[in-house]
């Protein structure tokens, strides 16, 4: 991307999109285009086509998506598959019709089979059954991958796909009903500490293993791939290390300074037993994550406390 390129960040208010926006500005890109969901509903095909026709976009980072944790995916499966299919279909097709030079589609490692060998290699896609709790979301993301690949094959577009592992960072969702595990735990421990609660309930058994990537690392990887990657095949983005939910809870407990008890609620499903990505491909291209988990969580906790105006 040349420095004057006109770059559209779809989903610039979200966890990933805001990190991409920060990274672009940091690297001197100023010709940036973005819209809030109230200004441009990406589920509306005509609105999206009109936007692309008017704005003359060169590059697209497609980070807009309907996202959530296990409970949200379980409770709203129709919303997750419908909204994500509409968003990505409209943006990818409009980018092709507007002759966008390159597009990066952001998927998720939930695209891989529930019981795939660990760590998850890119070639494991579509080799087994998905995790049922987030299958509608995963199927939508798989459709986005295949759409990018199909447009490349038929129309000669340059649409690439990155599969990030579990994300966290500034601008995360801290709603206890719809958030992912890390921000949910941060909020739970913080509120328990403030209230003097004797225990914190952790959803599930604590046994599942998860990998966590800071959004600023992902943004750096996205810029790297936009500059350096031209293949249709997907690329995993992660740190290559995982941690159990129990260990994560204990780490967050320590960072927050909560001294009560941890109680695990095994009536809530754990989801996939383990989800560690193989990062050999992106490492071989020349990129590696740099933000350690503890340091990253501490920075997010400080940000969260600023949002609710409490000093730590």
Question: 14: annotated binding-site residue?
Answer: yes
Q: Which two tokens stand for residue 84?
A: 């994500």
- The CA-to-CA distance between both ends of the chain, in Å, stands at 40
Question: 6: annotated binding-site residue?
Answer: no
Question: 16: annotated binding-site residue?
Answer: yes
Question: 185: annotated binding-site residue?
Answer: no
Question: 270: annotated binding-site residue?
Answer: yes
Question: 203: annotated binding-site residue?
Answer: yes
Question: 27: annotated binding-site residue?
Answer: no
Question: 125: annotated binding-site residue?
Answer: no
Residues labelled catalytic: 137
Question: 36: annotated binding-site residue?
Answer: no
Question: 141: annotated binding-site residue?
Answer: yes
Question: 180: annotated binding-site residue?
Answer: yes
Question: 288: annotated binding-site residue?
Answer: no
Binding residues for substrate: 188, 203, 210, 270
């Amino acid at each position: 991307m040349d420095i004057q390129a006109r770059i559209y960040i779809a989903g610039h208010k979200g966890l990933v999109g805001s990190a991409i926006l920060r990274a672009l500005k940091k690297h001197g890109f100023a010709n940036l285009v973005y819209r809030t969901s109230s200004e441009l509903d990406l589920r509306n095909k005509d609105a999206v086509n009109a936007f692309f026709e008017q704005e003359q976009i060169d590059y697209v980072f497609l980070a807009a998506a309907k996202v959530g944790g296990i409970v949200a995916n379980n409770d709203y499966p129709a919303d997750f598959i419908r909204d994500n299919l509409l968003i990505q279909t409209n943006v990818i097709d409009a980018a092709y019709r507007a002759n966008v030079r390159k597009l990066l589609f952001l998927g998720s490692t939930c695209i891989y089979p529930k019981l795939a060998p660990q760590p998850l290699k890119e070639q494991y896609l579509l080799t087994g059954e998905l995790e049922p709790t987030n299958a509608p979301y995963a199927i939508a993301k798989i459709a986005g991958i295949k759409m990018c690949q199909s447009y490349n094959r038929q129309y000669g577009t340059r649409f690439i796909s990155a599969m990030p592992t579990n994300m966290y960072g500034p601008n995360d969702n801290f709603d206890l009903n719809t958030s992912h595990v890390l921000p949910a735990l941060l909020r739970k421990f913080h509120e328990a500490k403030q209230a003097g609660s004797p225990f914190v309930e952790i959803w599930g058994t604590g046994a599942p293993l998860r990998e966590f990537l800071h959004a600023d690392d992902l943004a750096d990887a996205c810029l790297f791939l936009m500059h350096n990657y031209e293949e249709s095949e997907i690329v995993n983005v992660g740190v290559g290390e995982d941690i159990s939910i129990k260990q994560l809870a204990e780490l967050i407990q320590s960072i927050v300074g909560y001294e009560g008890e941890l109680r695990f609620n095994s009536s809530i499903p754990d989801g996939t037993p383990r989800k560690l990505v193989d990062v050999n491909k992106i490492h071989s291209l020349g990129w590696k994550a740099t933000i350690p988990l503890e340091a990253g969580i501490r920075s997010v906790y400080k940000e969260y406390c600023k949002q609710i105006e409490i000093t730590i």
